[in-house]
Amino acid sequence: MKLSMPRFDQAPVLVVGDVMLDRYWHGGTSRISPEAPVPVVKVEQIEDRPGGAANVALNIAALGAPAALVGVTGEDEACQSLTDSLAAAGVQAHFQRIEHQPTIVKLRVMSRHQQLLRMDFEEAFETDADALLKDVERLLAGVKVLVLSDYGKGALKNHQALIQAARRRGIPVLADPKGKDFKIYRGASLITPNLGEFEVIVGRCADEADLVAKGAELMRSLELDALLVTRGEHGMTLLRPDQAALHLPARAREVFDVTGAGDTVISTLAAALAAGAELPQAVALANLAASIVVAKLGTACVSAPELRRAIQREEGSGRGTMTVEQLLTVVEDARAQGEKIVFTNGCFDILHAGHVTYLEQARAQGDRLIVAVNDDASVSRLKGPGRPINTVDRRMAVLAGLEAVDWVVCFSENTPESLLVQVRPDVLVKGGDYGVDQVVGAELVRAWGGDVRILGLVENSSTTAIVEKIRKA
């Protein structure tokens, strides 16, 4: 299955559900309490993160999709922390604030990246279901997918009214279910229980065939369009009526913390569907996103650059020859990781030892090396009749095979100035005996704060000399 990055910026999603604050107290431990056989944590840092439905909305926004959130909170400091964090991430939060009830807070005490204790501060909310429905109906006009993030804390009391409100408008409804009664999700487009939640409803599954059979019956009884069962280290299984089951293996190389993994799955799935992806591709993206988030500590998000890089690794497109559009995408991702971009250009007609040494030196100037190659017509204009010896696709393929080279792109003008403006490299390098001021594009690069560097050439190594030697022979 080929994966690609959807246009998340055109994929508005509305999340409705149980909002909570995940609070972390971090500190070192060096002794045991004299009062009880427990470690003493000297709290040095307090960190707040949106949790529950708020984490789902935050994940959607982290992918670059417009996200709105409807939920229930108290009128307290925890609510203000949530509001500030969500606003900073661009999430439109619409909270029903109940003055006499506290916002749900899950407090985790952490030491050396390990969770020592979790304390939950929560009461089931006395939600005004009619008011919440009105908020949702008002917001549905501007979204493409509705997500019900149900943690069983009381925010969702009228599941059917919410589902029908969306379906009447042709908006798909995804639900992350909880509890022992899945009938409340009847008519949803898709639900995403984990295996434990699924088996509470249908009974223990002896094997995959049993899971598929019981899933098909559940879809029929609940009138679902699809069912996605997340299965931890066994990946996930997508079921659709009258279609073969799609089993996706787990992608995680290292599992550090599974907190919020389900939120990441449904948020990526919702954003991808809202962006127009087909369901199997959206599920595959969600599976890939989950593999990223479980390698992080605590409630965490997957950013668009992280997901794009994972897709590139899956598709084998993280290096090599690229179009200008592809190059700009990977450069953006590299910058998001704090990497320094180095740029060089040339004809590279017959690759020789001088080129290899020069490109190795160029790569050492930063973290990523772009080699821009003149196309055939521009080489002919610059070098004269009979050149290039090798066509541009062959020249690019040879360059892409070098360990020092990350990305190879071609340009048709005599100089790469227009490409430089688009890429805006941190370092422009050139080999030769001329000064920095003679390098094409030097003024442009220095104008945005970049460096221009001249590297030495290997003596007695030139394409022109090789061509002449062959001709004489």
Q: Residue 113 — left, alpha, or beta (φ > 0 → left; ψ -120 to 50 → alpha)?
A: left
Other residues' Cβ atoms within 10 Å of the Cβ of residue 382: 13
Neighbour-count burial for 220-236, b at 16+ CB within 10 Å, e otherwise: eebebebbbbbbbeebb
Residuewise pLDDT in 10s, the chain (473 residues)? 677 888 999 999 999 999 999 999 999 998 999 999 999 999 999 999 999 999 999 999 999 999 999 999 999 999 999 999 999 999 999 999 998 899 999 999 999 888 999 999 998 888 999 999 999 999 999 899 999 999 999 899 999 999 999 999 999 999 999 988 999 999 999 999 999 999 999 999 999 899 999 999 999 999 999 999 998 888 889 999 989 999 988 765 554 445 658 899 999 999 999 999 999 999 999 998 988 887 776 667 888 888 887 887 776 556 788 888 878 878 887 887 789 999 999 989 888 888 888 999 999 999 999 999 999 999 999 888 888 889 999 999 999 989 899 999 999 999 999 999 999 999 999 887 667 778 889 999 999 999 999 987 665 556 666 666 666 66
The closest of 340, 300, 322 to 408, measured between CA atoms, is 322
Q: In whole angstroms, give the CA distance from residue 236 to residue 229.
A: 6
Distance in Å from the first CA to the final CA of the chain: 51
Residue 341: strand pairing partners:
368
Using one digit for the tens of pLDDT, what is the confidence trace for 365-395? Answer: 999 999 999 999 999 998 888 888 899 999 9
Q: Which is it for the CA torsion 156, 160, 164, 170, positive or negative?
A: positive
Residue 120: strand pairing partners:
106
Other residues' Cβ atoms within 10 Å of the Cβ of residue 250: 17
Residues serving a catalytic function are 263
Give the pTM. Answer: 0.71
Which amino acid is located at 233 in the chain?
E
Burial class (CB in 10 A: 0-12, 13-18, 19+), 367: middle
Which amino acid is located at 130 in the chain?
D
- The label of the residue with tokens 């227009």 reads 418
